[in-house]
Amino acid sequence: MKKLLFLLLTTPIILLGQFGNGDGITTDAQVGIVMEEVPIEGTPFMNPTYKLGETIVNGKSKTQALMRYNAYYDYIELLDENNTPRKLLRRKSIQAFFEGKTYKILDYAEAGKIREAYFNPFNKGEIKLLFRPKKIFIQAEKPDNGYDTYDPPIYKDISSYYILMGEAPATKTRLGKRQLLKHLTKNTAQVKKFISNEKLNLKKEADVIELIDYYNSLLPRSLDSGAQS
């Protein structure tokens, strides 16, 4: 496993500490930790088990490390050579790849504002289907009386799909023919024929990816030739 260089955050001074070969792409992961008075159901991580992955900086592989994604705080956690948790810096130039998925910072539109978050792109081309892994924390609810059921605190998965069109911010969508055709507005007759001929179920992720790949193949080369994953 390659060694890493970590950027250690202190308050109010930022110190640069070197560990290994000088990649400078991680920070201390001990941020946002809260005291828990009662057991919490679930986990803030999409998968609490660390998986071997790699960081990619400006399109080039830089390091290998054990990783997992915190879907509540929206950061990627890595273990350094001392098995200390570190946070991957949130930069558009820095990606992570593990469990067969790319984690990439992208813009998205929400409530009239442009925000940033980690997404998993599913395909290449002008139009991309994205998955946004996301969890929220729901506080425990006290029963009104001794006969009511106690609802424990829980990390709830509210992950969702987005469509990315060119360089525009991604927009939230649901899987389904009606929703997707609102985004795929060119070559409508060919697209509908393809859906019918291939018997696509557009509530299934794999079928949606197949449709978007076909849609991208119909676009002028000038549009999708320079698109990146």
The answer to whether position 8 is within a domain reads yes
The answer to whether position 68 is within a domain reads yes
The pLDDT of residue 108 is above 60: yes
The answer to whether position 73 is within a domain reads yes
**Number of domains within the chain:** 1
The answer to whether position 10 is within a domain reads yes
The answer to whether position 13 is within a domain reads yes
Phi, psi (degrees; rounded to nearest 5) at 212 = -65, -40
Give the DSSP per-residue string, the chain. Answer: -----EEEE-SS-EEEE--SS----EEE---S----SS--BS-SBSSSS-EEEEEEETTEEEEEEEEEEETTTTEEEEE-TTS-EEEEP--TTEEEEETTEEEEEEEEEETTEEEEEEEEE---SSEEEEEE--EEEE--B--SSTTSPPB--EEEE--EEEEEETTSPBEEE-SSHHHHHTT--SSHHHHHHHHHHTT--TTSHHHHHHHHHHHHHHS-HHHHTT---
pTM of the model: 0.80
* pLDDT tens digits for range 121-157: 999 999 999 999 999 999 887 766 666 667 789 999 9
Hey, what are 104's tokens? Answer: 């990439």
Task: Write out the residue range of the structural domain in which residue 71 sits.
Answer: 1-30+44-99
The answer to whether position 24 is within a domain reads yes
The answer to whether position 153 is within a domain reads no
* pLDDT tens digits for range 27-78: 776 545 454 466 889 999 999 999 999 999 998 988 999 999 999 999 999 9
The answer to whether position 51 is within a domain reads yes
